[in-house]
Structure 1
C-alpha cells in the first residue's frame, strides 16, 4: 500500500472519528420515538453547524482550530447528558461563573480522571488532524463551499421568518408587565426553543441567555446598592454568634410528626430539645419567586413587583458586623430564581451547589452539609448562614436518596405526573419521604451548631405549601389559592448558650408557637432574634419581642387569610360575603 493511499485512509478515518466525537452529545440523545423532530432540530442542525464552520476557509486547518472549544467540551456535555438527562444551559454557566470553581465542579467527583483522559485523547486526535491538514494542504473541492452557503442561507431565512412570527405572538405578553419582561414574560428566542438541546448551539445559546440575565440582575442591583439599614448590635456578646436561616420548599405544617402527623416524618427533630414548631405560619404567596423575598426582606405581602426596592436581612446582618454566606441547591438564574439571586448576591460568600436545579434529580440537599461545615470552620466571631434548599419540590421522589424511601410505594425512579389523581398514593408517600429527609438535614445542621458551643439559632421556614389530592380534592401542586397553598412549616432551634443570654426571647418564641404568624414578619423577627437594631425597626412585627401584636394576614391579592371563606373540598379561599 503506497503512502498516499495510507494518508488518505488516515485522513478519512481521523475526520470521521473527529466528526463522531463532535456529534456524540447529539447521538447519545437518540430517541425511542419522535425521530423526525430529533433529526430536524438536533442531528441535522448540528451537522449543518459544523459544516458551516468548516466552510469558512478553503483550507481545513483554520476551521479545525475554531472547532477546538467544542471538541474539548464534548466529554463534559456527554457526562452531563448521561447523568442528568439535560444539556448545558444558563443554569450550569451561572454555577461555574458565580461559585467557587472547586465547588462548581463538584458534580464531576469520581469521573474527573476519565473526563481528563477523554479530553487528552480528543486533543491528540485534534492535533494530528490540524498538523496533517496544515502539512498536506487539506482543502475543499471546488464548488462545494457555495452549496453549503446556499443551504445555510435557506436555513437562516427560514429561522428568521419563524423568529419574527414567534416574537409577534409574544408582544402582548411583553407589554403587560414591563418590570417582569426580562425573566417572566420575555420569550426566549425561537432559536433557543428549537436548538437548546443541539450541541454545540446550546452552549452559545446558554452563554447568551446567561449574559442577558446577569445584566438584568446587575441593572436592578444597582438601584438597591446604596440602600442602608444602619443596622448594628449595640451590645456585642463576647462569645461566638451563629445564626442560620434555612429556606425550605413546599413543606406543609400538617405533615410534620412534631405537629401531630401520624407518620414518623420528623423523628430526629422530635428528640432534640429547644426545638419550637410554629404551627400557624402562613405565607402570602404560593410561588417561590415571590414568597422568598417576603421572607428575607421588608417587602409587603401585597407588593406585586418582581424586583426588590431595598436590600434583605443578609445586608442588614453585614452592616451589623456579621460575615454572611448563602448556600443553595436551587438555581442562580431564571424565571423562578432571579429575584432571589439578587438578595443572595448580597452575601460575602455565595455558592450554588446543584448542577441541575429543580428540573431533574441532581444533588440532594445534603450537599449543603459539608459546605456549612467549611463555613463554620472559618471561625468568624459573628456569622449568618442562609441555606436555600429544594426540600419537597416536585418531583418529590427526586428529593431524597434511596435510604429515605421509607413510605412505599413512592414511585421513586419512575416518571410520575403530579396531575394524575391515580398517582395519589405514590405522590403522598414520596412527599412524606422528602419531609423525613428534611428532618435529617435540619437535625444534622443543629448538631453541627451544637458542636460550636456558640450563641446560635436555626430558623427554618418553607416558602409555600402544596396540594396533594387531599381528601376528595382534585388539585395538586400549588398556586390554586387553597388554604394548603399558604400554610407553611416553620421551626426554631436555639442553643443553650443563646437561651442563657436571651431567655426572654426564647420564652416569647415558646409562647407564640401556636399564634397566627406570617412569613412577612420573619425579617423583623430574625434581626430581633440576633439583637440587631436599626432606626425604623418595627418591633411590633417581631414575635420574639414583647411589643409583638397580631395583625391581619393579607395574602398576595389582598385577601385576609383568616377571614376568607373556605369553599369546597379543596378549601379554596374566597372573599367573605
Structure 2
C-alpha cells in the first residue's frame, strides 16, 4: 500500500503523458508505431517539468490530434504537406462546403480527444512538477532528451547528406514533429517552384497536332463511367458513338488535388517536380511554339501556389472565369474564342470543377436526370465533353486532339454515407479520354497505350502531340506505366479492402 501511494502518482503521470502522444497510432497499431509513441513521449519529456511548458505541450498535442483524427479519417495517414497545400488554397466557399458535410465519427472523436487533453492537462499541471521533483532520479531525467536533441542537431549540421536524410526520415516519425516537417516541405515547394523549368535544349520534332485541348477534371471516379463498365445510370450517354474516341481507366497518384494533380501536369509528384525543375506539358507546348490558353473554373486560391505557377508561367492567355460556379459551362464562351484565335498551333487547357463535393451543386437542375447526384455530375461532364469535342472538330484545325482525365475520384457509398474526399479504390481509379479528328487519328494508339497507366498519360499525350516525344525516352522520365500508390502496385491495390486500401 505504501508503494502504491508513493509510486501511484508517478505511474499516473507517465501513462497520462504517454497517452497524449497516442494519435500517432491512428493510422494503425503496430510494434513500430507503439515504439514511436514511446520515443516521442521521451523526446518531449523535458516539457513535463514546468507547468507553462506542460500546458504548451498539451495545447500543441491537442490541436495536432484533432488535425490527425480528421486527416486519418479522410486519407488514412497523419497530416502531411498536402493538407497544408490544400488548406492554404482553400476558399471560404470550400470551408463552408467542408463544414456542412462533416461526418459524425471524427467530430465525436475530436470532442472526446479535446476533453481528455483538458482533463489530463489540468491533472498533470497540478501533479507532475511536484512528483518529478520529489524523486531524486527523475528530477534529472529532463537532461536525457535534451542530449538526444542536441546530438540530432549536431549530426544534421555536420553530418553527410546520407545521414541528414536518415535524420529527416526518423524525426518525421516523432510525434508531433511531422507537422513541422510538413510545413517545411510545403515551404520548400512553394519557394522552389518559382525557379524556371529545365527545358530541352534540342528543338521539337514536327508537331503531330495543331490544336490540343486538355480538360482537367475534378473528383470524377472511373467506377461511375458507364463507358468503363458502370452498370448503373448511363452517365456517358452523350459520348456514345462519338467517332475517334477512346477511353480507359487510369490510376490517380493521390487522394486530393494537392497530391494528385502535379502528376497530370508534369508526370511527377510536386516535390519531385520542384526538385528536378520539371517542365509541365504547358511549358513544353510553349517551347514548341504553341500559343497556350488556360481557362479555369476552379476556385480562386487565396494565395498563389504550385498550381497557379505551373498553369500560368508559360501561358499566353490565363483566365479565371468562375469560382467553382455556377457550373463548368461557364468556360464554353471563352473556349470558343480560344478556338477562333488565329494562332496556327494552340494548346487550350480547361480546368473544371467537375464532380467536386458537394456533388448536387455541380450540374444544372435540368440535368438532374438520375436519382444519384454523383451520376448527374458525371452526366454533365459527359455533356460538356461532347459539346467541347464538337466545337473542336468544327474549328477547322487540320489535326486536333482532346484529352480528359480527373485528378482523383471520391469515396462513395457503400464505403461512405456520402460523396467526399477520402481513402478508397474509387478515389484512385479515374477516367481517361482521348479524342482525335481524322487528321490526327493515327496518334490515338500512342495516346491510349495498352496496360496499366496513371493519369500522367495526359502530360505524356500532350508532350507527344507537340513534338517532344523524345523527352519521354530520357532515362530520368518516370513514365505513367505500372503506377503505384504508397508502394502498392495497381493490381495489389485491387486486392486490398476497396474502402480503406488496407
- 2:263 aligns to what? 294
Structure 2 counterpart of 1:531, from 439, 464, 467: 467
- Given candidates 188, 191, 211, the residue that maps to 1:242 is 211
2:199 equivalent in structure 1: 228
TM-score (norm 1): 0.52
Q: Where does 1:175-574 land on structure 2 (aligned, <5 Å)?
A: 183=85, 219-223=191-195, 225=196, 227-230=198-201, 232-236=203-207, 241-261=210-230, 262-278=232-248, 280-300=249-269, 309-334=277-302, 338-346=305-313, 347-355=315-323, 357=324, 362-408=325-371, 429-454=372-397, 455-470=399-414, 476-480=419-423, 482-499=424-441, 503=442, 505-509=443-447, 512=450, 515-534=451-470, 537-538=473-474, 551-555=481-485, 557-564=486-493, 566-568=495-497, 570-574=498-502
Aligned partners of 2:61, 2:336: CA distance in 1, in Å?
Answer: 47
Q: Kindly indicate whether the alpha-carbon contact (under 8 Å) linking 2:238 and 2:382 is maintained by their aligned counterparts in 1.
A: yes
For 1:178 and 1:464, locate their aligned partners in 2 and report how far apart those are by CA, in whole Å: 18
Instruction: Report if aligned partners of 1:277, 1:491 keep a CA contact under 8 Å in 2.
Output: yes
Pick the structure with greater CA Rg.
Answer: 1
Corresponding residue number in structure 2 for 1:72 = none
Does the 8 Å contact 1:247/1:462 carry over to 2?
yes
Contact 2:219 2:408 survives alignment (8 Å):
yes
Given that 1:400 and 1:433 are in contact with CA atoms closer than 8 Å, whether structure 2 keeps it comes out as yes
Residues 476-516 of structure 1: CA deviation (Å, up to 9, x unaligned): 42332x211100011111011112xxx2x32454663xx31
Distance (Å, rounded) in 1 between the aligned partners of 2:63 and 2:202: 43
Q: Could you say if the C-alpha distance between residues 449 and 539 of structure 1 is closer, same or farther in structure 2, counting changes exceeding 3 Å? A: farther
Check whether the contact 2:405–2:458 (CA below 8 A) recurs between aligned residues: no
Structure-2 change in CA distance of 1:272 and 1:379 (3 Å): same
Report the TM-score when normalising by structure 2. Answer: 0.59
Deviation at 1:406, TM superposition (A): 0.7
Question: Structure 1 residues 231, 465: closer, same or farther in 2, change over 3 A?
Answer: farther
Cα distance, 1:219 vs structure 2: 4.2
Distance 2:83 2:261 in 1: 20
CA gap 1:459/1:558 in 2 versus in 1, 3 angstroms: same
Instruction: Give RMSD over aligned pairs.
Output: 4.0
Deviation string 1:523-563 (CA, Å, 9 cap, x unpaired) is 22321133324557449989xxxxx9x843211x2222222
Structure of greater relative contact order (alpha carbons < 8 Å, 6+ residues apart): 2
Deviations 1:334-375 (A, max 9, x none): 58x8321121112121111113x3xxxx32000111111111
List per-residue Cα deviations over 1:411-436 (Å, max 9, x = no partner).
xxxxxxxxxxxxxxxxxx11111111
Paired residues, number:
338
Alpha-carbon distance in 2 for matches of 1:187, 1:232: 36
Question: Alignment partner of 1:385: what SS?
Answer: strand
Cα contact 2:434–2:444 (8 A) shared by 1:
no
User: CA separation in 2, counterparts of 1:377 and 1:400?
Assistant: 27
Separation in 2 of the partners of 1:390 and 1:566? Answer: 31
Question: Any stretches of 5+ residues in structure 2 without a counterpart?
Answer: 1-55, 68-77, 96-186
Consecutive unaligned residues of structure 1, counting only runs of 5 or more, are 1-164, 194-214, 409-428, 543-547
Partners of 2:427 and 2:348 lie apart in 1 by: 27
Judging changes above 3 Å, is the alpha-carbon distance between structure 1 residues 540 and 496 closer, same or farther for their aligned structure 2 residues? Answer: farther
